[in-house]
Amino acid sequence: MKAKIIITPKKAVVDPQGKTVQSALAHLGYQGVTAVHVGKYLEIDLAPGTNAAAARRALEEACHKFLSNPIIEDYRLDIE
């Protein structure tokens, strides 16, 4: 079982990396890109037999207090 977490900068936070990548895409001729947001991806391996609901609760807490900073970031947690 794996947990997959995607962390992205909040819309209100200036994302200079995203803006630079967007500009580079335009320079390379990729049309129609209206915004780029650069975030982080975490893949967490969970022990076999882990209870998915319990793992989700624990990881939601970890996302909130450690893996993301709610002041500047949003996260999405998927368990597969």
- List of residues contacting another protein (CB under 8 A): 9, 12-14, 16-17, 20, 66-67, 69, 71-72
The total of other beta-carbon atoms located within 10 Å of residue 9's CB is 18
| Smallest separation, CB 43 to another protein (Å) | 14
Six token digits for residue 62? 């970890």
Locus of tokens 């893996």:
67
| Smallest separation, CB 67 to another protein (Å) | 7
| Smallest separation, CB 9 to another protein (Å) | 8
The Cα–Cα gap between 36 and 16 comes to 10
Spatial CB neighbours of 20, under 8 Å, sequence gap ≥ 6? none
Would you say 59 or 67 has its CB closer to another protein?
A: 67
Would you say 27 or 66 has its CB closer to another protein?
A: 66
